Amino acid sequence: MFDDNPFKQSQVTFLVQMHTKYMYLEQFIEAFEKFSSNVVYFEKEGSRTVESMPEDLWQIEIYFEQEPDLIQIKKEIILVAEALNIDYPEVLISTVDDKDWVSETQKNFIPINAGKFYIHSSYYKDNFPKDKISIEMNAGRAFGTGEHETTGNCLVALSELTHLKFDNCLDMGCGSGILAIAMAKLWNSKIIAVDIDEQAALVTGENVKINSAQSIESGQSNGYDSSLVRKNSPYQLITSNILSSPLIEMSGDAYLHLKKDGLLILAGFILSQEKDVLDAHVKHGFILEKRIDDNNWPVLIMKKPF
């Protein structure tokens, strides 16, 4: 079981790291998630180019409260590398001071402007833009603080829907809960926020309290297969900022749990994966309402027609 406080840290944590190209990121993340729910992945500094994104180098980090079985981890990584027909990536293990890692990351988090939103950490003490909606989001062990284009572009997409009214929304794959909090602040509507990662659901709960977004109910769910998701279905708006494979796999469920004339925001994939994601949803009856693209990370706003 996870501690009720997801930010409570032990003095020393074991860190396992590896690098891989973006095109292989998804497969390695799935392998790492067999060992720990605390998986962090990010693009290496200076590697962002639109043309070469699939070749760009990404770093994956997993954190353990106890010393991990590195031999077993390496065996799993070798299986992935062999399946992809690539060289076995080097896996490094080290120890880090949890307190320093969390606090320093939060202190160094630079506020972000995304659409109508201003994302900042609890350490930010300067004046907030009066024309922006403030969201406090400390960097932690769940994806989505607004730094990455996928999250930022989703916030832009939500900002462009403010002329509409949504009373019942779902954030599928909520990560830190940032999109659920954004929806709650825009429409003060009922929001369900779920993630396959129980730790992410707990982090979302903490961020909901920090941002006084009481209309959000968070929980763990394997896709749409949970009582929390089903009992509140259908939804007028669904956001899903995850990876291409689960988006494709869940396209039918997304259509089933969306109200007629409802909107679905899809993100978390690169330009070369867009057609597969789009085709899967069109096959189930969705139509493309709008497309946003910034730095090779498209966002698709899909509509379930009458």
Q: Which of 201-205, 246-250, 293-297 has the lowest mean pLDDT?
A: 293-297
Look at strands 57-64 and 12-21 and give their pairing.
antiparallel
Nearest to 148 by CA among 39, 269, 260, 36: 269
Nearest to 249 by CA among 172, 182, 189: 172
What's the pLDDT tens digit per position in 120-175? 877 666 677 888 998 988 655 434 444 457 888 899 999 999 999 999 999 999 98
pLDDT at position 49 is: 38
Is the peptide bond prior to 129 cis by the omega test (within 30 degrees of 0)?
no
CA-CA distance, 166 to 238, in Å (whole number)? 10
Q: Which domains does the chain have, with CATH numbers?
A: 12-101 (3.30.70.260), 160-303 (3.40.50.150)
What's the pLDDT tens digit per position in 183-229? 999 998 999 999 988 878 888 999 999 999 989 999 999 999 999 99
What's the pLDDT tens digit per position in 68-122? 888 888 888 999 999 999 998 888 888 866 554 445 555 555 677 788 998 887 7
pLDDT at position 97 is: 60
